[in-house]
Structures are given as structure tokens and as C-alpha cells.
Structure 1
Amino acid sequence: MRKLGVSIYPEHSTINRDKEYLDLAHRYGFERVFTCLLSVQRPKEELMQEFKEIIGHAKSLQMEFILDVAPAIFQQLNISYDDLSFFAELGADGVRLDLGFDGLKESKMTYNPYGLKIELNMSNDVDYLPNILTHQANKDLLLGCHNFYPQKFTGLPYHFFISCSKRFKEQGIRTAAFVTSQHGKIGPWDINDGLCTLEQHRYLPIDVQAKHLWATHVIDDVIIGNAYASAEELARLGSLRRNALELKVEFLPNTTLLEKTVALQEAHLRRGDISEYMIRSVEVRKKYAQHSFPRRKSTSQARGDIFIGNDTFGKYKGELQVILQEMPPDERKNLIARVVEEEHFLLDYIQPWGTFFLVAVEGKVTQC
């Protein structure tokens, strides 16, 4: 089960504001909370009191709570890697190691008596994880999570992100990465150009970022890196399908109710023997074989356009097609909708036999 998460930064906010945010996130189906101890400079006793309260609130909502730490924090708080009682007393579910130790120490941490999960930094394409596993780590308590990057142009490039992530996914380790809210202004540091893992996500709508991460099939959990995401952003993420890609579409004014039904009410399965020009959803044509799709004026076919075979298309009547490459007009097909521009790149993630869904952008139509 893929999860959604939010981040809070108590040293830059108030307990009440953080509680309100967690309440809102929980309402929209969020299950994880991330926070960072790397920038905390307060005395240990004061830190414990505040974090116990906010973690306790998260736990009352059945939300998993992970604390981001590094070796320097262990020294600052006089904590040993072989005694994680401090984090257990806070009520945390686990700790994320922003910087690692030597492999053996991480392995020993996975056998802590409190059942704390040990989350590893995924954003380095080195043999860090194999080193830990060589020391016979308890994989049941291992997680992986990428970094976020507050400075623009410093986020991970896609190919590097995939390479890093596969190291964990291939070992069966649960993975996570960050997306950024376009409304959140709070992070751990004074620079906050957005808190995403992938640089290409920095200015995209938050739901498009999440859909992309899930479409890669190397990320399980999606966490909003900055606080506070708007209620609209939380709602958009909370309403997403987590197990299949869905594309937002804008219908043409003359699209019929039947055509909208075919597009929106069906799970679309890409044909296995694929075409490089289009994604073919052929199962729907069998279901709607006895229905009529009157022919309309044909139009050229551009990437992101969605067509349905009309009554002149013989056995292909009712077939839904999403265009990948430009083609000339075909009078046997009706243009019914277009995938929104910012999601065109997601078309490349619909693999042979891949299931996808179409959802309407409320209140929007597009012209021929």
C-alpha cells in the first residue's frame, strides 16, 4: 500500500499550528509524518517535551512519525547508535539517517529493542545498502528515503534518481521521495525554493509530481517536503489513485455523454502489442459495440489528443486511443478530449498491458 506523508518543522512553527496541519492531512488520507532534527539547536530536555507532544498527536491519528538525524545530532544530544531509547521515549516510529555510519552500525541499529525503523538516505548511487545488508541487517526494519533540495537547480536529475532508487527497490526495501507544495514556505533551513527530490518537479502541480513518482514504480511513499501545503493540495493528493496512473483531460464542447462515459467510467488497458503512435484501449470497444458513435468532422492527431472510433470504423468502433505522435486526420475517429499539457510526459509511463484512468478537469473544455 503506497502512502502519503507531510512534513512539519516545530522549531519554525507552533505546536497548535502543527497539530491543525496533521489533523487536516489525516482527513485527506495521509499516513506519514517527517520532521528534521538537523537544524534543532535547543536543549535536549526542551526538545523532548515539545516533540513528545506533537508526536503523541500524530500517533493518536495513526500516523507514522520519522525523525531525520545525522551523526552530529547523536553527538549533540549525547546519544549512541547502539542505544536508541531517546527516540523511543519521544514516541517516534523510526529515524532517518541523513548521513550514514559504516554499515555495521546501521545493521546493529536494525536490531534495536524498540522496533524503531531505520530509514536510509537513498540519494547516493553507491554501494551503501549492500554494505549494510552484508552485515546481516534486519530488512524488516529498513526503509529508504531520498533527500529533498531547498535550493533551485540542485535537485536530482531523473536518470540518477532512478539508478539510486533501483538499488533499494530491487532489495525489497520500502522507498520514499519528496514533492513540493507551491504554497509551503517552511522547511528546515532559511533557503526554501521548494523541497522536492527531483529537480524537474520544482514548479509542477503537486499531484503531477506524485503521479510521476508512482509511475516510475521505484517509489512507494510520497511526502510533501515543505509546510504547509494548502487544503486544496492535500485534497488533490488524497484523491489520487495510488495503484494506477490517472491522467487529467479536458473535453471538447461537442463530446457526447456516451463518449465521456467510455473515457471516464472505464479502466483502460493498453494493448500489449504496442504502437509508437498511440496508446490503444481496445477492451472498451467490445463493451460498447452495440452503441452508436456518430461521425464528426475529422482533425489532425497531436500528442495528448484522445480519440474514439466512430460508426465508420468497423470493428474498431468504440476503441479509445491516446495519441503519442502527430498523425494526419482520420475521418473514422472522433476527437473527444485532450490530456492537459503538464501531464503529456506521463504518457511515456503507460507500459504494455498497463492500466490507466482518465479524469475530467472540472469546469474546463477545450476547443478544436
Structure 2
Amino acid sequence: MRQLGLSIYPDHSDFEKNKAYLELGKKYGFTRLFMSMLEAGNSVDETKAKYQKIVDVAKQLGYQTIIDVSPRIFDQLGISYSDLKFFADLHVDGIRLDQGFDGATEALLSYNPYGLIIELNMSNNVDYLNNIISYQANTPYLYGCHNFYPQVGTALPYDFFEACSKRFRQFNIHSAAFVASQVGNMGPWNVNDGLPTLEADRRLPIEVQAKHLWASGLIDDVLIGNAYASEDELKRLSQINRYQVQFHIDFVKDVNDIEKTVALTPQHFRRGDINPNVIRSTQPRVTYKAVPNAPHDNEQEFQRGDVLVGNDGFGIYKNELQIVLQPHKEPRKNKIGTIAPEELMLLDFIKPWSKFKFIS
């Protein structure tokens, strides 16, 4: 199942604020927690007490907690790769290896007696995962998670993200990636231009970022990289459909009741015999074939992202819904609305037979 997650940074934050943030996240259905231990600076006992305290709160609230670690932290805290008891004592569900080892080490870690998940860095397009699998890793205990990128201009381009992610998807490894709050200003470092995985997502509304990741079909869990996201952002994330693209449609002034029904009620899917000009959802013309639909907003040139419904002059195609991919004119179609501009990129993910919905 696809999950939503938060991130907190105990070395840079207050326990009570973190606790309140986790409680707010629970209210909106968040169930994963990312924590960073890349910058731990206290003694072993102090570090353990600080992290265990907030992890226990998260556990009581139903979060699955994975903590980000590096070889430097293992050395600093005197932790052996052959014994992960330190992390089990923190009550976390898993550890994320920010840096890789030799493959054999990761495979061995996946058999740790504490049942800890071993989460791998996904943001490298190399045979890293294949190497680990070749050492007969315990794959149900392997997860993958992309990096986030605090510096503007440094996050992944989509094609590279896709190539990296496909390496994990072919083995059905549970995966995660990050989106950026537009109000959060806390991360692990002293630079924070948002903490997304994809550069194209950095300044987008947070729910559109999540739609983008889930539309790819390559990511299971979406995590907010920076803290603290606003309650409005958490609410908007909680309301999106995690399993199919849900476009936000802005209706035209003269949209009528049947057109709103055609847009908002059916389960839409793109016809399998696709064309490059429009995405066609043809079932509404069958369901609502007897309902009249007078022409309006039908004389202009339609643009990419316009949502159309066939009018009374379109014969058998009356009340068929279409989304414009290529500009064209057709007076037998009414423009009923437009997809939000920031969501136009999601059109690329509507493949033959893809399911999709609209929300007003």
C-alpha cells in the first residue's frame, strides 16, 4: 500500500514540536517517518535517549520509522555492522544506508536478527542493487529510498530518476521518494531550498509533487523532506488519490450539469487504441447518451489541457469526454474546463487504459 510520510530532525529541533507534528500527521493519515542521524553529535547514551524518546512517540501513533545513517555514524557511535542492536534499542523499524558498501555487507545486514528493514539509496543508476541481490539478500527486508536535495538546481532530472527507480521496481523493492514543503525550513544541513527528489517538483504545490511521483508508477511512499509542513499541506496531501491520476479541473462559466456529471462521476480510462490528439474517455457517451447537451464554448481553438465533452451536434459521440493533447478546433465539442497548469505534465502518464479522475 502507498504511504505518506514526514521527516523530522531531532538534532535541530524541539521534542514537543516534533511530537505535535507527528500527531498532526496522524490526523491526516501519515504513517511513515524519516529521521536523519547523519549529523549526530552527542554521546552514545545521549544520542540513544534523544532518538528513542521521539521514536516511541511515533510508534504509539502508528508510524513506521526508518533512520538515515552513514558509515561515519557507525564509527562515531562505535556500532558494528555485524550487530545492529543499537538501532533495535532505538525501536526504529529500519535503517537507511546513505552510502553503499560492497553488496555482501548489505545482503548480510538484511538477515539481522532484529528484523530491521535495510533501506538502500536509490539515487544511483548503477548495478548496486543487482550486486546485493546476487549475494542472496533477504529481499522482503530490503527497501529503497531516493535522496533529497537541499540546494536548488541539484535534484534529479526525471529521466535519471526513472532509470534509477526501474532498477528497484524490477525486483519489486518497496520504494520511496521526497517532496518539498513550501513553508518548511528545516533539514539536516544549513542550506534548505526545499528537500525534493525531483528538481522539476521543487516549487510546485506539494500535492502536485506527490501526484507526479505516484503517476510514475515507480514510487510506493511519498515523504515530505523538510519540516515542518503546514497543516494545509498535510490536508491537501491526504486528499489526493494515491492510486490513479486525479486532475484538478477549473470549469468554464457556462459548464452545465450534465458536463459536470460527465467529468466528476465516472471512473475514466483512456481508450486502448490511442491517438496523439486527445485522451478519450468513451464510456460516458454510453451512460449519458440520452441526456441533451447544447453547444457552448465550442468555437475557439482548444489547447493542451482543455477538457471537452461532445455536444448535441456530435451524434454518437455526444457526452464523450476528451482531454486535449494537440491544439485543434471542433464545434461539435464543448470546452467544459481546463486542467490546472501545474498538472499538465501529468498528461504524459496517461497511457492506453490508464485510469484517471477529476476533482473540482
Give the TM-score range, shorter chain: over 0.9
The residue number in structure 1 matching 2:54 is 54
Verify: 1:262 aligned to 2:262, yes or no: yes
Residues 266-317 of structure 1 deviation map (CA, whole Å, 9 limit, x = unaligned): 1111011011010000011100011111122522111010111011110000
1:288–1:210 CA distance, 2 compared to 1 (3 A): same
Residues 217-241 of structure 1 deviation map (CA, whole Å, 9 limit, x = unaligned): 1111110000000111101111111
Verify: 1:352 aligned to 2:347, yes or no: no
Aligned ranges 1:1-368 → 2 under 5 Å: 1-298=1-298, 299-328=300-329, 330-360=330-360
Contact conserved, 2:179 with 2:201, CA < 8 A, in 1? yes
Q: Which amino acid aligns with 1:203?
A: R
Residues 29-77 of structure 1 deviation map (CA, whole Å, 9 limit, x = unaligned): 1110001000121111111111111100110111100000011110001
Residues 119-139 of structure 1 deviation map (CA, whole Å, 9 limit, x = unaligned): 000011111111111111000
Contact conserved, 2:152 with 2:193, CA < 8 A, in 1? yes
TM-score by length of 2: 0.99
Q: Which amino acid aligns with 1:130?
A: N
Cα distance between partner residues in 2 of 1:24 and 1:258: 39
Residues 54-104 of structure 1 deviation map (CA, whole Å, 9 limit, x = unaligned): 100110111100000011110001001110000000000000000011111
SS of residue paired to 1:147: coil
SS of residue paired to 1:313: helix
Cα distance between partner residues in 2 of 1:13 and 1:248: 35
Cα distance between partner residues in 2 of 1:290 and 1:160: 48
The residue number in structure 2 matching 1:365 is none
Cα distance between partner residues in 2 of 1:42 and 1:283: 62
List, as ranges, runs of 4+ consecutive aligned residues in structure 1 with deviation greater than 2 Å: none
1:261 to partner: Cα distance: 1.2
Cα distance between partner residues in 1 of 2:269 and 2:124: 35
**Gap regions ≥5 residues in structure 1:** 361-368
Cα distance between partner residues in 2 of 1:235 and 1:267: 24
Aligned length: 359
SS of residue paired to 1:312: helix
1:353–1:276 CA distance, 2 compared to 1 (3 A): same
TM-score by length of 1: 0.96
Q: Which amino acid aligns with 1:290?
A: A
Cα distance between partner residues in 2 of 1:265 and 1:16: 43
Residues 159-209 of structure 1 deviation map (CA, whole Å, 9 limit, x = unaligned): 111111000010110111001000000000000011011111111111111
Contact conserved, 1:244 with 1:355, CA < 8 A, in 2? yes
The residue number in structure 2 matching 1:366 is none
Contact conserved, 2:271 with 2:352, CA < 8 A, in 1? yes
Cα distance between partner residues in 2 of 1:297 and 1:233: 34
Contact conserved, 1:121 with 1:146, CA < 8 A, in 2? yes
Contact conserved, 1:71 with 1:101, CA < 8 A, in 2? no
Cα distance between partner residues in 2 of 1:200 and 1:243: 21
Cα distance between partner residues in 2 of 1:340 and 1:201: 15
SS of residue paired to 1:42: coil
Cα distance between partner residues in 1 of 2:120 and 2:86: 19
Q: Which amino acid aligns with 2:301?
A: S
Contact conserved, 1:272 with 1:353, CA < 8 A, in 2? yes
